[in-house]
Structure formats: structure tokens, C-alpha cells
Amino acid sequence: MKIYIASDHGGYSLKEHLKKAIKQYEFIDLGCDSEVSVDYPCYGRKLAEEVVKNKALGIAICGTGIGISISCNKIKGARCALCTNTTLAKLTKEHNNANILALGGRIVGDVLAEDIVRTFIETPFLGEERHERRICQIENE
């Protein structure tokens, strides 16, 4: 499975760690390429556009996860959720069918981030009528 991944400088270290630690998925790295300061909106937009275009999953990382998640959610069809634990990752996939996971590189540790990513990728959408209805309402706003 291909997973798009992008970060700003604040998420660069965690992005690189995840690519090495989670080997069962192919990560398509959309940048950034170092810890030199960059602007997260560029990377959030690029990631969200690729995820929506390719009907894929993505992981967006900045220092807190907040800024890049806001940027991702500006793209129609992107449903990005900032998760700080596995329960949130599981529920956002089951109920919201989120297609992008946002993480804070300065907020969650490497091992917890690995667990959050695996949970996000492996949890299926429940597909229940109430969840489908709510997602349609979000997308039609």
C-alpha cells in the first residue's frame, strides 16, 4: 500500500523515522528534505491534493500537527485529523473515514507515532449510514 507523507521542518525528524520504522508500507515522500525552516501550508496542500487525486491515505507532520492539518483540510475531499493517540486514530477512520493523519513531531514520541500510524492505516471505515450521512454533510459545505 502506498502512503503519501509530508512534513515541514518541525516534523522532518518524525517523518524520516516513520519511513524507516514502518517497512510494510511504501511511503511516497512529498518533502520537506531537511530541518531547514519551510512553510507547512505548501506541504499540507501538496499532500492533500495527491491524497484526494489518488484516493489514497496520507500522513502530514509539522511541529504540533495543527497548522498542517488546517492546511490539508482546505483541499476539497481531504479529511485530515490530528491524532495524539491510537484511540483517536481508530475512531477518525471508523467514523469520519479520514484520509489524512496529522501528527505533531514535537508532541508525540517516535514509538507512539508508529502505533498511531499503524492504527490509522489498518482501521477500516465502518460505513454505517449515520457516518456516511455526516461525511456527505461535511463535503457539501
Tell me which of 9, 32, 62, 72 is the catalytic residue. Answer: 62
CA angle 24, 90, 105 (to 5 degrees): 70
Is 80 assigned a catalytic role? no
Structure-derived torsion over alpha carbons of residues 67, 68, 69, 71, reported in degrees to the nearest 10: 90
Contacts of 95 (CB under 8 A, 6+ apart): 126, 131, 134
Q: Which residue has the cell 512534513?
A: 7
Tell me which of 9, 17, 72, 95 is the catalytic residue. Answer: 95
The whole-angstrom separation of Cα 97 and Cα 118 is 15
Is 131 assigned a catalytic role? no
Point out the residues that are catalytic.
62, 95
